[in-house]
Amino acid sequence: MYLCVLLCDPLWLAVLFFTTKGHEGLHKGSQSKDMDNYKITTLNDFIILKQKDFPYAKGELSSLLHHIGTAAKMVNKKINKAGLVDIIGSAGEINVHGEDQQKLDVFADEVFIGSLLSSGECCGVATEENENEIVFSDIFASKGKYVVCIDPLDGSSNIDFNVSVGTIFSIYRRITQRGEKVRNEDFLQNGSKQVAAGYIIYGSSTMLVYSTGYGVNGFTLDPSIGEFCLSHPEIKTPENGSIYSINEGNYIRFPEGIKKYIKYCQEIDKESGRPYTSRYIGSLVSDFHRNLLKGGIFLYPENRIVPKGKLRLVYECNPIAFIAVQAGGKASDGNQSILEITPSSLHQRSPFYAGSKNMVMKVEEFLDLNR
Ligand code: AHG
Ligand code: MN
Ligand code: MN
């Protein structure tokens, strides 16, 4: 009687069905199970995997990238705590650009410098927060093959308000001989000489996006295991986008070509999908990252107050331009490719237009016609 009731109950029937299936499986020996959902490539796996593509690579660049990943995790942890501990707000200092230094600017700067020093592969660093390049005199580091240019915390004025911020980095092979003291010129190479570049975005999730000149790959931090995992392989940016990102509050001071381009973005045209959408966060990394994935353009032109624009060529424009180009996009100062400019000083500024190829070309066209 009881057996009859049980066998009529659909739940029990289901249990019976699956246990029988499982049992069969156990007896069949080898099982073919779809394990795709369990496959994980961590940033460190990926770096080592890619190192094998270069038969003469000795792992120095890999070690450097690995250390950048570790520093990013430390900064991420601190950013997550912003608001809970005494880390938000001004550090009470003014940096080399006359800007208010945030506590997190200082923290991120120290963490990245420390991590690069301990990698032993980097002989010097140029950062937004320090007037001159930092030369490592440590016995191992001074023999390192690479120099790094870095904006340790990008968009830091947003940090107190829970808005996404980032880190931007650029790696060059030194020009001076190993063992020699690293010099200013090691940091003032044009962007096309970058060996690797990338950024970290501390957003609703934290991502590290980088390129060594063979495409762009993105890794999302899985906080449960503390690892960056490959989530966006071989990122390609659309050739045409529909987002334009610019601080329109400065409109009145923009060059004529940019004013006209903004009006062009706002016109109705079915074929090109206009009007475009306007999106501006005020953190270069976040604005660029969104546009990279969705298709769009980031613009920071010169204006009467900042005659060379606001963004810094060496550690903001160059690395972002490298990623844009590697993803099939474009980056320009309005006249020429960002990557072709030879910097003359560490904190040099440049007008900056980066993103979908056809959109950047359109901006250059507008600037050309209105000179
Ligand atoms: P940083 O915080 O490193 O000084 O960079 C801020 C930059 C950049 O992230 C952003 O695109 C731009 O400043 C925003 O400038 P405006 O506030 O003038 O729009
Ligand atoms: Mn910045
Ligand atoms: Mn910064």
Which residue stretches of the chain are H helix?
2-8, 10-27, 43-51, 60-81, 103-119, 184-187, 256-266, 284-294, 318-326, 357-369
Backbone angles phi, psi at 361, to 5 degrees: -65, -35
The CATH 3.30.540.10 domain(s) of the chain lie at 43-232
**Is residue 21 scored above 50 in pLDDT?**
no
Distance between start and end Cα atoms, the chain: 94
Q: Specify the CATH number of the domain 43-232.
A: 3.30.540.10
Going from the Cα of 217 to the center of ligand 3, the distance in angstroms, rounded, reads 23
How do residues 64-84 score in pLDDT, each as one tens digit?
Answer: 999 999 999 999 999 988 666
- Number of neighbouring beta carbons within 10 Å of residue 28: 9
**For a pocket test of ligand 1, which of 157, 313, 352 has the largest count of ligand atoms closer than 8 A to its C-beta?**
157
Q: Name every protein residue with a CB atom under 6 angstroms from any ligand 1 atom.
A: 128, 151, 154-157, 247, 282-284, 310
The closest of 38, 64, 39, 40 to 51, measured between CA atoms, is 64
Give residue 1's pLDDT. Answer: 43
CA of 313 to the centre of ligand 3 (A): 13
Q: Tell me the two tokens of residue 329.
A: 């996009």
The bridge status of strand 196-202 relative to strand 146-154 is unpaired
Q: Which ligand is nearest to the CA of 155?
A: 1
Q: Which residues pair with 85 in a beta bridge?
A: 82
**Answer CATH for 243-369 from 1.10.10.10, 3.40.190.80, 3.30.830.10, 3.40.50.300:** 3.40.190.80
What is the arithmetic mean of pLDDT over 227-232?
A: 97
Reply yes or no: is the peptide bond before residue 275 cis, omega within 30 of 0. Answer: yes
Q: How confident is the model at residue 88 (pLDDT cuts 50, 70, 90)?
A: low
Q: What is the pLDDT of residue 89?
A: 72
Cβ partners under 8 Å of residue 182, min gap 6: 123, 124, 133, 135, 136, 142, 147, 174, 176
Ligand in nearest proximity to the CA of 156: 1
Place of tokens 């056809």: 358
In the reported structure, the alpha carbon of residue 154 is separated from the centroid of ligand 1 by a whole-number distance in angstroms of: 7
What is the per-residue pLDDT for 30?
64
Can you tell me the distance from the alpha carbon of 21 to that of 343, in angstroms, rounded to the nearest whole number?
68
Mean pLDDT of the chain: 90
Average pLDDT over residues 9-26: 44
Q: What count of other Cβ atoms lies within 10 Å of the Cβ of residue 70?
A: 16
Assign 31 a pLDDT band (cuts: 50, 70, 90): low
Q: What is the dihedral of CA 172, 176, 182, 188, to 10 degrees?
A: -50
- pLDDT higher than threshold 80 for residue 23: no
Band the pLDDT of 314: cuts 50, 70, 90.
Answer: very high
- How many residues are there in the chain? 371
- Cite the residue boundaries of each domain of the chain with CATH code 3.40.190.80: 243-369
Cα(169)–Cα(173) distance, rounded to whole angstroms? Answer: 14
Backbone angles phi, psi at 353, to 5 degrees: -130, 115
Q: Report pLDDT digits (tens) over 346-366.
A: 999 999 999 999 999 999 999
Q: What is the pLDDT of residue 92?
A: 78
Query: Per residue in 249-304, pLDDT tens?
Result: 999 999 999 999 999 999 999 999 999 999 999 999 999 999 999 999 999 999 98
| Mean pLDDT across 38-52 | 90
pLDDT class for 126, splitting at 50, 70, 90? very high
Residues above pLDDT 70, as percent of the chain: 89
DSSP letters for 140-163:
TGGG-SEEEEEEEEETGGGGGGT-
Separation of 249 CA from ligand 1 center, angstroms? 14
